[in-house]
Amino acid sequence: MAGEAKFSIGVDYGTNSVRALVVEVHSGEEIACTSWTYAHGEDGVILDTREVNLARQHPADYEEGFVRTVGQAIEQARADRRFSPERVVGIGVDTTGSTPLPVDEQGRALATLPEFERENDAMARLWKDHTAHAEAAEISRRASEGGWPYLSKCGGAYSSEWYWSKALHCERHNAGVARAAFAWVELCDYVPGLITGNRDPRTMARGICAAGHKAMYHPSWGGLPSAEFLEGLSPGFSRFRERYKHPAVASDRVAGGLTGEFAERTGLRAGVPVAVGALDAHLGAVGSGIGPGTLVKIMGTSTCDCMVGPLSEGMPDIPGVSGIVPESVIPGMLGIEAGQSAVGDIFNWFVNRIGPSGYGRREEMHARLSDAAGRLRAGESGLVALDWHNGNRNVLTDPLLTGLVVGETLATTPAEIYRALIEATAFGALKIIERIEEYGVAIERVVNCGGIAEKNPLVMQIYADVCNRPMQISRSGQACALGAAVFGAVAGKAHADVPAAQRAMTGVKERVYRPEAGSVAVYRDLYRLYTALHDAFGGAGGADVGRVMKDLITIRQRAREV
């Protein structure tokens, strides 16, 4: 009947776990949320101590994760008297990326087959796998020297985190897996294909979000890079281009209907529309209410920054960002992506690898370190750090850069280092903001989402002070899953388009973190030192770093005299 409650489901595949969110499509009310940590590896990530750049996932976890979380969310949602599975109008899916996996001709993930179940190279290559850094450099060099246009929409350099680098690395280093790989499929395309039964890589829907930002897909050159370009990298490599469905499409399109098998396993009805998949950060931006003039920062293990602008107005190519792609965030708009390769992962590294004593058990350390760091004034630590513990994604696009802390003495405390690491990630965020605005794209407000934005007020206040901008927080603590649910609602025709669904389903919290004038002034001085180190160690110029240590002492003394 008219006005009755309707629901959509957003399924969010993160770095360590998958979650399912059930949302009422008219109000945005979240009535159920469940999560499951991937079974394989360390916190869901398969690592190799012999290769520090390796980060893989077992694709069996993706199927089990969908069934577990969606099934449990349906049961949880039944506590709401308005809910029934028949009132679910659509499903949206977001995943990490670029997280491609090799599949056979039937679309079966190679690692799910007996002959490859223990083969790391047959696993999904998680976004933060940097084993393909040499291949990324080769792709960038070939495109640049050959006059190919493919780097113009991805910031001027191709990344080791992305689709073609990872496929080429397998081609070069594991002939058995390379021969068995009929195609490489992004995780955000694989899951919708799996649950709708359209697993054939030649016919499954391919999303413009991952294709454009990770696989050098752009309409201006006819889609993917040419067969000639790919063959020049490795003979036969263009076969993956031929098996990639064209055109790639926006996520308001329907990938298919939920199969009877997955309906039975989750408690849903068969045929529920499933939206074309997209990357988690981009749908987190949608779930945070992104629109023209708004920068959304998705803050977790890494960060991703997203903006949109009207297709009709165009947008300049911006060196050092991760892509400018039509309809990758909101249909009918251009999407900009940038980000940092590690943020939460840096804080976790300090807690898990350094493990300073005196701050309680490991699960308590983040809160206690944040509390101690929050009692320090800006500049009081006398430290400045570089946030490159997992390379630099933007604006330098170099996976081989590493982290650094300058200014330590025998009196330096763990809380001071922890705060310096937070400040370093904020300085890195400001670099991205400056680069985007340098090319004429105005940023009128900043909205943050993700676990860090939700849980750590200190981080948000430091970001406000460093960037000298108010920091808003997405209303939903599950913005990525909510963004997926928005597309599920559009796929199910509960809303006419994505902006209409956003108006009904998204928003921001009342609390706003505002810049504090005293801290802003100190961070302006510290940012100058960060920039000197950034340019000197990042190869961006011959910056003079000879005064950095002494300038840090001066800043520290001033802060302690206040």
Domain ranges of the chain: 7-278
| pLDDT for residue 199 | 96
Going by pLDDT thresholds of 50, 70 and 90, the confidence category of residue 155 is confident
pLDDT of 2 higher than 70 = no
CB 413 within 8 A of CB 383: no
Give the rounded percent of residues in the chain with a pLDDT score beyond 70: 99
Mean pLDDT of 188-194: 98
| pLDDT for residue 19 | 97
CB 454 within 8 A of CB 333: no
| pLDDT for residue 270 | 98
Going by pLDDT thresholds of 50, 70 and 90, the confidence category of residue 314 is confident
Strand partners, 183: 103
| pLDDT for residue 55 | 96
Mean pLDDT of 34-46: 96
| pLDDT for residue 144 | 95
C-alpha–C-alpha distance, residues 386 and 384, integer Å: 7
Three-state DSSP at 153 gives coil
Instruction: Write the pLDDT tens digit of every residue in 443-459.
Output: 999 999 998 999 999 99
Going by pLDDT thresholds of 50, 70 and 90, the confidence category of residue 516 is very high
pLDDT of 135 higher than 80 = yes
Mean pLDDT of 545-549: 93
Give the rounded percent of residues in the chain with a pLDDT score beyond 90: 90
Three-state DSSP at 362 gives helix
Strands 88-95 and 7-13 turn out to be parallel
| pLDDT for residue 1 | 36
Mean pLDDT of 493-512: 97
Strand partners, 404: 386
**If you average pLDDT over every residue of the chain, what do you get?**
95
Instruction: Write the pLDDT tens digit of every residue in 58-103.
Output: 999 999 999 999 999 999 999 999 999 999 999 999 999 999 999 9
Instruction: Write the pLDDT tens digit of every residue in 396-438.
Output: 989 899 999 999 999 999 999 999 999 999 999 999 999 999 9
pLDDT of 281 higher than 60 = yes
| pLDDT for residue 315 | 80
Mean pLDDT of 203-209: 97
Residue 300 class from Cβ within 10 Å (0-12 exposed, 13-18 middle, 19+ buried)?
Answer: buried
Residue 467 class from Cβ within 10 Å (0-12 exposed, 13-18 middle, 19+ buried)?
Answer: buried
For residue 333, is it left (φ>0), alpha (ψ between -120 and 50) or beta?
A: beta
Mean pLDDT of 346-374: 92
pTM for this entry: 0.91
| pLDDT for residue 188 | 98
Instruction: Say which CATH topology domain 7-278 has.
Output: Nucleotidyltransferase; domain 5 (3.30.420)
Mean pLDDT of 311-316: 80
Strands 294-299 and 303-310 turn out to be antiparallel
Q: C-alpha distances in angstroms, 500 versus 274, 449, 473, 493?
A: 19, 20, 21, 11
Cis peptide before 149 (omega within 30 of 0): no
The first and second tokens of residue 436, run together, are 């985007």
